[in-house]
Structure 1
Amino acid sequence: MRQVEKYFLTRASPDDLDITRATQTDTIQSIRWWSLSELRSTAETVYPLGLVDLLADVLTNGLPDEPALLQ
């Protein structure tokens, strides 16, 4: 099986997020804010793979000219 997902970068405050408005609330177990250092040091798997490095690059160099492709 092959699955394609699209992720979008946005800036939001915790008050902007309401999981009860999600389209698939039954699959959301929890939400939380992560700092870049927390994402880098967690033992949990962060999906999509490569997201942490992409975020670090965006924070350092700004947005890429073309959408990033992570696999």
Structure 2
Amino acid sequence: MRLDREGRRTVAQFLNGLAVAMLATGVLAPLAGGTPQGAMTAAALIGAALLHLLALATSAGR
């Protein structure tokens, strides 16, 4: 099933929302609480970057 432009845009916004949520819970919250964890921070950054790249690919129609 092919999505129209609005459908791709909606999916891309959802994926970007997940990326922001991942950054907030995996990076910002531990840093604000004073308990940063290296592996969790790295995993959150990588996961958020991958979700953002997927959102870019989705919005481009690929």
TM-score normalised to structure 1 length: 0.25
RCO higher in 1 or 2 (8 Å CA, sep ≥ 6)?
A: 2
Structure with the largest fraction of helix: 2
TM-score (norm 2): 0.27
